Amino acid sequence: MQKRKKSNDRKIITYVNSIALFIFLSLMYSVLTNGAVTKIDLWVSRYISQLYHPALNAALIFFTNLNGVLGSLVFSIFMMAWLYSKKYFNAFRFYLIAFSGMAVLFLLLKFLVARERPHSELIDVINFSFPSGHASMTMTISVILYFIFVKNMHTGVLKRALIVLCIFWPIFIAFTRVYLNVHWFSDVAAGLALGLFWTTFVYLWLSRKGASCSVSFEKMPVF
């Protein structure tokens, strides 16, 4: 029964992985060819300023900066240090490979696509736009934390709370990037899909049957 459940879980994760890759590649193709999604981008960028309010602007700038490169790096260093200190080496390896790999991947894609950002009246950002690094990294961290801690959620309420948090947080941060008009809508959608694809890919790779580097979270503590 347990073996069948693990097999079903891998199938679901594989489907999610494939769908995320398809969405990302479709968005990138549409961006590179000035397809239909670019028209949606222009419409969102033109009208998003109608939602502006000084208090909301300040709050979303705070949250988007909190989840920037420095914030994500500091949080991840603390998480990896904790995992390593507790001798959860499989979880540590999973976090390290997924996080560092995603950082390299989205930077390479930014320079490959070389898409200009929309003009923002609220904050200045100088690097390329596609895909969104904030969306990619926040999704990556959220999925990592889900895989690490989900088996330690011993009630349905805790599991649902973890799922909601791991879905809500990256989508919220992606929204801040569109709201502040430092990214096109397709940038953040592609970033979310890329983060989901990459992290599930790393998980499937590390936890494959018979692999010496398989990830095991059974000994993680209960919180």
Domain ranges of the chain: 2-206
- Has residue 214 got a pLDDT over 50? no
CB–CB of 186/174 below 8 Å? no
Of 9 and 176, more confident: 176
- Has residue 78 got a pLDDT over 60? yes
Q: What is the DSSP letter of 217?
A: -
- Has residue 179 got a pLDDT over 90? yes
- pLDDT in the model for residue 212: 34
CB–CB of 123/177 below 8 Å? no
This prediction has a pTM of 0.87
- pLDDT in the model for residue 4: 61
- pLDDT in the model for residue 153: 67
Average pLDDT, rounded, for the chain = 86
CB–CB of 183/132 below 8 Å? yes
- Has residue 66 got a pLDDT over 70? yes
Contacts (Cβ under 8 Å, ≥6 apart) of 190: 23, 24, 27, 28, 31, 130, 131, 132, 135
Across the range 189-209, mean pLDDT stands at: 91
- pLDDT in the model for residue 88: 83
CB–CB of 218/158 below 8 Å? no
Share of the chain above pLDDT 70, in %: 88
Across the range 150-175, mean pLDDT stands at: 84
Q: By C-alpha distance, which of 97, 109, 212 is closest to 143?
A: 97
For 33, 66, 93, 144, the CA distances from 84, given in Å and listed in that order, are 45, 25, 9, 15
- pLDDT in the model for residue 33: 94
| Two structure tokens written together for 2 | 């347990």
Across the range 109-126, mean pLDDT stands at: 88
CB–CB of 31/37 below 8 Å? yes
Measured distance CA(54)–CA(169) in Å, rounded: 22
Contacts (Cβ under 8 Å, ≥6 apart) of 218: 151
41-45, 83-87, 206-210: least confident range: 206-210
Please state whether the peptide bond connecting residue 131 to the residue before it is cis, i.e. omega within 30 degrees of 0.
yes
| Two structure tokens written together for 98 | 């997924």
Q: By C-alpha distance, which of 178, 194, 165, 163 is closest to 64?
A: 178
Across the range 108-123, mean pLDDT stands at: 89
- pLDDT in the model for residue 210: 42
**157 falls in which pLDDT band (50, 70, 90)?**
confident
**36 falls in which pLDDT band (50, 70, 90)?**
very high
- pLDDT in the model for residue 216: 43
Measured distance CA(110)–CA(59) in Å, rounded: 27
- pLDDT in the model for residue 154: 64
- pLDDT in the model for residue 161: 86
Q: By C-alpha distance, which of 22, 38, 20 is closest to 30?
A: 38
